[in-house]
Structure 1
Amino acid sequence: MSPTVSLARELIRRESVTPADAGCQPLLAARLAQIGFACEAMNFEEVSNLWATRGAGRPLLVFAGHTDVVPTGPLDQWKFPPFQGEVQDGMLHGRGAADMKGSIACFVTACERFVANHPDHAGAIGLLITSDEEGVARWGTGEVMNVLAERKQPIDMCIVGEPSGKQTLGDTIKVGRRGSCGAKLRIKGTQGHIAYPADNPIHRAAGVISELLSVEWDQGNAHFQPTSFQLSNIHAGTGAGNVVPGEVEIDFNLRYSPEITEADIHARIEDVLARHQCQFEIHWERLCLPFQTTQGKFVDAVSDCIEASTGRTPLRSTGGGTSDGRFIAPTGAEVIELGPLNDTIHQIDERVSTADLDQLSVIYEGILVKMLA
């Protein structure tokens, strides 16, 4: 078993359901310290964060990831226990195998080989590891970035190890992500007998929803698909069939491109509510900003290393959900997401190819060579 797969197994065997770290980061810190990394625990509230650096000056190339995982779901539906890290038929099984303990293992073994061959490398290498990515993401990467800003310690380049492959390792890299803007909307009416309705909030909500679903928010751009509006929950009613409810609650989310701003979204939605003469309350969720790194030396280096290892030129994508790259990119860092296949993430029987992990570690090492050797 390779050093990369062995380390990934050790991490999987720690039951780090978000926001728990379950000892993953101390394991990583001990291993990194052996090759000259200065390791610092930055813990906030119940969240564990590890900031590890080797070298000084610039450029600073950072590997970013998370040790927390989503819950397992029904244990009896797993082919292998989710926290044992079983290897069978070339696949490593377990919660976090692909998302993203496998990538973290690749970070470490890539750094070990690189440092052995280039002990006096240029610039600095960093690892930013959190246990608060799968949850609310309040006390994780964003808080570490605040500390680094206070220290005036800018990140120049960052590889986020989120699963990015669609069919084969390296077929896709993420060069950006759409933003996420969500809210809980409460439209108020007047509760009463259904035979004598005064102001039915469901009827008002129906008009609002119909109009919001028809809005063209933007047309996207060459790298981002257009902004989309999606409903996730609607709740109203008292449980009785002859009562008009006093209010209706609506949860919605927009995944938005850089062609529109948070202020634009708020204004347009509130304008629709006003035109439908709604009495309403709206509570906006914490904003996730879009980001993109679409061209430059770093993107080219990542693509070149993938092609050298796999023979494939990766597609540059901005699809999918959000990631912790959103906290790093606004500081001016070039951010690329590259990890294993994403076909089993968050699923029962999550797994990853052991050969892919070994190859991914080689690709990460190649990026270090290109940028810091």
Structure 2
Amino acid sequence: MPHSPVDPIALTADLVRCPSVTPEEGGALVLLEKLLTDAGFDCTRVDRGGVSNLFARWGDKDAARTFGFNGHTDVVPLGDEAAWTMPPFGAEQKDGFLWGRGATDMKSGVAAYVAAAIDFVHTTPPKNGALILTITGDEEGDAVDGTAALLDWMQENGEAMDHCLVGEPTCPDELGQMIKIGRRGSLTAWITLTGEQGHAAYPHRANNPLPAMARLIDRLSSHELDQGTEHFDASTLAAVTIDTGNPATNVIPAQCRATVNIRFNDAHSGASLTDWLQYELDRVTQEFGVKAEMEVKISGESFLTPPGDLSDLVSKAVQAETNMTPELSTTGGTSDARFIKDHCPVVEFGLVGKTMHQVDERVEVALIPRLKTIYGRILRDYFA
């Protein structure tokens, strides 16, 4: 029976209709597993810690070259559902867009690649080549049991990718503008300063932690971490909250809490930044006589896949299909590429990300088959 090409628009719509808000699977991975299995892929569910993940392989384990793809089907919460003008899981098409949570981030990217991969192995199956897809249901959450679980399972079962493409939306305004060849690291620090509660009319009988926290946050915020590196913008620190939980105007509180988030380039590590934060914290405790506690979470270290064969391959495919030379960038937040970079070279390329995480998230319908075409060219060129 002749192969019928997979419609990536219809597949995007089917995935958007799955209410897969992290960590709910919502039917999205079940749908993909059946589609890929029917197309001749060997599929394995790699669920861990209440998170659903899917591993799919076409071709032999001992193939000369194995090309990987990573994506996610989980989505962020809806926010104010009453603010949506279209059903958030309706996948309705209007004004040239397909509307719904996950339409941009990143069910359209997953659909485009799955459609391209299935068509590729049916029309031009690579000799002595293999394809691997790793699809997680926990990219938007803690990500402890998502792509990390898939990579752990792969190592235990002798599975490996030689190169990997992540299908996150990477383009700011037009398809073809940008490829991600790395990402900044992310660190969050929760700081608590403890003084001594007292009456606001008798501040000498208390030890107010607020001036100490104000001094600390000022020092952290005004400090220039760096001026950028060859492939990265300057690192940034943002104070995201300062709070005492004190409703009284005549009470000096005993504690003040603050949270800062640092997005850092390859001039730093999570450990070096933690040491710097601790140094500044120690200075303030000595100056103001307060006690201090700090909890640090490093969501990911900065990483870079240096420009080379993989970025050249993707760039040439993008340029051939869009007539646009993509910028090689490291901007934006974190992605699951931060886990894959320890396994194999990885780059990211996908659609325009303007509406991701927003109310009325939507994707331009005409771009989905164009992305499928780009992904198909990448596969053909890789195995040529």
Please state which band the TM-score falls in when normalised by the shorter chain.
Answer: over 0.9
- Could you list the runs of 5+ residues in structure 1 that have no partner in the other structure? none
CA displacement, residues 63-112 of structure 1 (integer Å, 9 cap, x when unaligned): 11111111222333323211111122332111111111101111111012
Residue 7 of structure 1 corresponds to which residue in structure 2?
Answer: 11
Q: 2:347 aligns with which of 324, 333, 336?
A: 336
Q: Which amino acid aligns with 2:331?
A: G
Provide closer, same or farther for how the CA distance between residues 241 and 315 of structure 1 changes in structure 2, counting only shifts above 3 A: same
Could you state the TM-score of these two structures normalised by the residue count of structure 2? 0.93
**1:108 and 1:287 mapped to 2: Cα distance?**
28
Residue 88 of structure 1 corresponds to which residue in structure 2?
Answer: 94
Contact 1:218 1:260 in 2 (8 A): no
Contact 2:301 2:338 in 1 (8 A): yes
**1:269 and 1:169 mapped to 2: Cα distance?**
40
Q: 1:171-210 maps to which residues of 2 (within 5 A)?
A: 171-197=177-203, 198-210=206-218
**1:360 and 1:291 mapped to 2: Cα distance?**
25
Q: 1:1-373 maps to which residues of 2 (within 5 A)?
A: 3-56=7-60, 57-197=63-203, 198-276=206-284, 277=286, 278-331=290-343, 333-373=344-384
**1:228 and 1:75 mapped to 2: Cα distance?**
32
State which drifts further: 66-75 or 92-101.
66-75
CA displacement, residues 15-65 of structure 1 (integer Å, 9 cap, x when unaligned): 111111111111111111122211000111221000101113343211111
Could you state the TM-score of these two structures normalised by the residue count of structure 1? 0.96
Contact 1:86 1:93 in 2 (8 A): yes
**1:40 and 1:152 mapped to 2: Cα distance?**
14
- Once the two structures are TM-superposed, the CA of residue 141 in structure 1 deviates from its matched residue by 0.6
Q: Which amino acid aligns with 1:129?
A: I
**1:175 and 1:120 mapped to 2: Cα distance?**
26
Give the match's secondary structure for 2:233: coil
Give the match's secondary structure for 2:299: coil
State which drifts further: 293-302 or 87-96.
87-96
Contact 1:237 1:244 in 2 (8 A): no
**2:304 and 2:281 mapped to 1: Cα distance?**
32
Give the match's secondary structure for 1:285: strand
- Once the two structures are TM-superposed, the CA of residue 286 in structure 1 deviates from its matched residue by 4.2
**2:181 and 2:349 mapped to 1: Cα distance?**
9
**1:254 and 1:126 mapped to 2: Cα distance?**
34
Contact 2:6 2:119 in 1 (8 A): no
Give the match's secondary structure for 1:22: coil
**2:214 and 2:82 mapped to 1: Cα distance?**
42
Q: Which amino acid aligns with 2:350?
A: G
Give the match's secondary structure for 1:106: helix
**1:27 and 1:196 mapped to 2: Cα distance?**
66
RMSD over aligned Cα, in angstroms? Answer: 1.6
- Once the two structures are TM-superposed, the CA of residue 144 in structure 1 deviates from its matched residue by 1.4
Q: Which amino acid aligns with 2:351?
A: P
- Once the two structures are TM-superposed, the CA of residue 321 in structure 1 deviates from its matched residue by 0.6
Contact 1:4 1:358 in 2 (8 A): yes
State which drifts further: 142-151 or 308-317.
142-151
- Once the two structures are TM-superposed, the CA of residue 258 in structure 1 deviates from its matched residue by 1.1
**1:31 and 1:265 mapped to 2: Cα distance?**
45
Task: Give identity over the alignment, percent.
Answer: 40
Give the match's secondary structure for 1:158: strand
Q: Which amino acid aligns with 1:247?
A: Q
Report the number of matched residues: 372
**1:86 and 1:174 mapped to 2: Cα distance?**
30
Contact 2:46 2:153 in 1 (8 A): no
Give the match's secondary structure for 1:187: strand
